[in-house]
Amino acid sequence: MKRLIDLLLLTIAAPFWAPLIGVIALAVRVQLGSPVYFRQRRPGLHGRIFEMVKFRTMTDARDAQGQLLPDAVRLTPFGRFLRSSSLDELPELWNVLKGEMSLVGPRPLLVQYLDRYSERQARRHEVKPGITGLAQVMGRNALAWEEKFEWDVRYVETRSLALDVKILLLTVKAVVFRTGISAAGEATMPEFRGAAVPAAGRTAPDP
């Protein structure tokens, strides 16, 4: 049912998002050059790896040793706008069409995080990752990692069509007001280095 709803919503909204992707792709090409898209391997349902696609938001600026400069340095004003408006996420609709992602679900994170989750946090992979999710509408990158994962698990435990609709509506509000774009002092979020606090038995309040 969830898969059918994803496809139905994408089909209905195609006259809006398809041309918009084309316009943004052209703008990225002019502002940042090639490649237009940022592709990265991410874990999906049950930890299976897929290639997630987003719009590129950073330059490839490197130091004298050839190492990439920090994200905050490489993130351009145009890239910052794409992130704050969530327009950089639009190409992930292709991942939804392919069945690798859903419109709603825990965000797909880095592959190297897989062995850093607690047993409870790893439950976020019991459902397909999403373009938006409960953690995104409850604070996004302003939340600490443990808080974000608790919201992800809360979604896994309580998921329903009604909750998905609520999350989609709250996502519109979060995008309009551009809330929780980044953690304090970070371009997005600091690296997750492991479960600092045991999450078992913790509960999150109702969204």
pLDDT tier at 168, thresholds 50, 70, 90:
very high
Q: What band does 181 get if pLDDT is binned at 50, 70 and 90?
A: low
Res 29: pLDDT:
95
Query: With pLDDT > 90 as the criterion, what percentage of the chain qualifies?
Result: 69
Q: Is 70 exceeded by the pLDDT of residue 88? A: yes
Between CA 183 and CA 196 the distance in angstroms is 17
The count of residues in the chain is: 207
Distance CA 148, CA 178 (A): 18
Residue 200 has pLDDT above 80, yes or no: no
What is the pTM assigned to this prediction?
A: 0.85
Q: Which two tokens stand for residue 24?
A: 């943004």
Give the tens place of pLDDT for each residue, 106-152. 999 999 999 999 999 999 999 999 999 999 999 888 899 999 999 99
Note the pLDDT tens digit of each residue in 56-71.
Answer: 999 888 888 888 888 8
Q: Which of 88-92, 171-175, 184-188 has the lowest mean pLDDT?
A: 184-188
Q: Nearest CA to 196 among 147, 133, 157? A: 147
With vertex at residue 129, the alpha carbon angle to CA 173 and CA 131, rounded to the nearest 5 degrees, is 30
- Which has more confidence, 197 or 176? 176
**Mean of the per-residue pLDDT values of the chain:** 89
Q: How far apart are the first and last CA of the chain?
A: 23
Helix (H), strand (E) at residue 101: none
- Which residue's structure tokens are 């509408």? 137
What does each C-alpha distance from 171 to 77, 142, 164, 176 come to in angstroms?
23, 15, 10, 9
C-alpha span between 9 and 5 (Å, rounded): 6
Q: Kind of pairing, strands 130-132 and 37-43? A: unpaired
CA distance 34 to 56: 9
Q: Within its chain, how far is the Cα of 46 from the centroid?
A: 17
pLDDT tops 80 at residue 182: no
How is residue 109 written in tokens?
Answer: 């994170």
Strands 130-132 and 102-104: parallel
3-state DSSP assignment of residue 117: coil
Q: In which band, very low, low, confident or very high, does the pLDDT at 202 lie, cut at 50, 70 and 90?
A: very low
